[in-house]
Structure 1
């Protein structure tokens, strides 16, 4: 039995659908309101069950008898390692769509992941797929020379779920390594280490392969740092992209908003959801990631396009489940971006139609944000 917590949510329902399409089951689909779980069709023997991810007794009942537990519930920074520990206590392997650095650090300190168990964290889009695509784009053939620099962009026009909005608010104080906030604004990777205040926020900028002018917020996350170290990069920049005016104005104001009480934080989360809805109204929703790699005399870019990030996260989570079940990810505690095979993952996402991937060669590296008109494109690979 494969247990899936958060099956009624935007990511959970896509994960369940992807697992069903892959022939994995039976599934135990859990949510606080089972009636909100889609009716399927699901694999034979599947069931829908009420579960509260914040209630240890409820989690224990749900996890009993599961060989693998998938966590798609949120807010991730509120749940922390609660779901993972419930799965481990039931003797199950665990795939967590989020479960970023705080969960990894907690599980490492406690030694909760035994030698016979597998836990995969950050098995979504960002973090997760964002740490795999640059490795795929770099490839195994180094005849052009090593990669010196990476620039990444991620964002789009889509609704913000209740959990996502809550996690955004919580990430201002938690979610990063060592008890820090999620990511370091304006920081970048330079000469083998992170450096503060290297980049700047750009409003009304042109980002490569995004259809309209956007706001670009530099954010160096622990995943980008791990990736830069793994690829031995001299430089790495990461930008969160905000195409909508309402969201970008709200995010600019976030540090000044009162968030001392739960009521104030809830109010800000509601504002985030409303801003996203206003921005998306009357527009075709989309989610896009752009990765540019460059060496001494070469450069190439990958553009990933999906209808929304939730569907893409569900697809990545399902592939992580398949990897665990097939033994392609060994025992122990892992980040998805360090455990999943980049080439196999991209090939599966392409084959399943989960996202469109386009790669381009350039005569020179893409320019910095705001100078896109000087880019030279040589065509699609």
Structure 2
């Protein structure tokens, strides 16, 4: 349960993802406060508060009177600890959108007990990477133990933002997967495979590239072996310094990028598959975290601690909240 305040503070409000989050909060009629070291690009009429990441007192003042803080400012290895600390001091719940495994794992391990004591929820990795796969996996298997699970993602393009570039340069922590129920370093060189997606992505060459979904899924689901792959074409783009940033092509500010994410679970009962399609991985993060914030604001929500989206909420119900303009998903037995 959060405080009796109703405003949602967005840290990193002037960034690419932060702008999508503010727009979605406004669309849903939720009170929003923009926070950051630069709020010059915040939409007119949105309350804005200046706070640098290294100014603990300013962060706490900026979050005062809010119920939820959504952190959109990476690299999260650097921003998550001070923003979580300030949110806890201000009595706020916390959500972030990190794809960084080390950041998500640290948040879970460092802040679960304190969040429980404070009676608030802390939800790291609630965006496209981390959150969406966790919801799909939770809806697919529930509490049932699974022998093997694979997350496969294909992007028809990956036009990286400036923040994505900065995070990639900062995050040099070795990536992990789950083997025999334990987090272990990913094998190097990264294993490769081929994957057949539904149209329009079709057959894709894939490279093992685990993001924060490994941390979120293994946090609460009983999975013996867990791996994640990304299509090689999108990896080639993001590894190329000449690849441009995303360009808006519609009234929502989304790029033309199309994505598909599949979660496949195998056990003695057979094989099951969850699949979701959408447009623009940065844009789709906004309805995910805003839906989470709206549910945290609901007086009936009574969970606390460091949680994943699939732990905090009913995954089926959460996914059904999205219209086809944001996301389509399906669950299949194979």
Query: If the length of structure 1 is used for normalisation, what is the TM-score?
Result: 0.70
Partner-residue secondary structure (3-state), 1:299: strand
Cα deviation for residue 361 of structure 1 reads 4.0
Alpha carbons of structure 1 residues 212 and 276: separation in structure 2 relative to 1, 3 Å: farther
Of 8-17 and 49-58, deviating more is 49-58
Rounded Cα–Cα distance in structure 2 between residues aligned with 1:120 and 1:229: 12
Stretches of structure 2 lacking an aligned partner (at least 5 in a row):
1-6, 249-254
Is 1:208 the counterpart of 2:208 in the alignment? no
Which residue among 21, 36, 43 is the counterpart of 2:41? Answer: 36
1:294 Cα offset (Å): 3.2
**Higher Rg:** 1
Identify the residue that residue 97 of structure 1 maps to in structure 2. 97
Match of 2:301, SS state, is: coil
Aligned to 1:344: 317
**CA–CA distance in 2 between the matches of 1:230 and 1:212?**
31
1:97-136 correspondence runs (5 A): 97-98=97-98, 100-108=104-112, 111=114, 114-136=117-139
Q: Residue 329 of structure 1 contacts residue 339 of structure 1 at CA under 8 Å; is this kept in 2?
A: no
Q: Distance in 2 between matches of 1:130 and 1:106?
A: 23
Higher relative contact order (CA 8 A, sep 6+): 2
Counterparts of 1:168 and 1:249, CA distance in 2: 10
**Pick aligned residue for 1:9 from 10, 15, 22:** 15
Of 320-329 and 295-304, the range deviating more from structure 2 = 295-304
Distance 2:35 2:115 in 1: 24
Correspondence 1:317-328 to 2 at 5 A: 317-326=289-298, 327-328=300-301
Residue 356 (str. 1) matches residue 324 (str. 2): no
Partner residue, 1:378:
none
Uncovered stretches (5+) of structure 1, i.e. residues with no partner: 174-180, 251-270, 363-381
Residues 287/31 of structure 1: CA separation in 2 closer, same or farther (3 Å cut): farther
Residues 228, 96 of structure 1: CA spacing in aligned structure 2 closer, same or farther, 3 A cutoff?
closer
The answer as to whether partners of 1:188 and 1:199 remain within 8 angstroms in 2 is no
User: Does the aligned pair in 1 maintain the 2:276–2:327 contact within 8 Å?
Assistant: yes
* 1:338 Cα deviation from its structure 2 partner: 2.2
Residues 52-81 of structure 1, C-alpha deviation per residue, up to 9 Å, x if partnerless? 233324313312222322211222112131
Contact 1:299 1:361 in 2 (8 A): yes
1:309 maps to what in 2? 281
Pick from 22, 33, 43: which aligns with 2:28? 22
CA apart distance, 1:197: 3.3
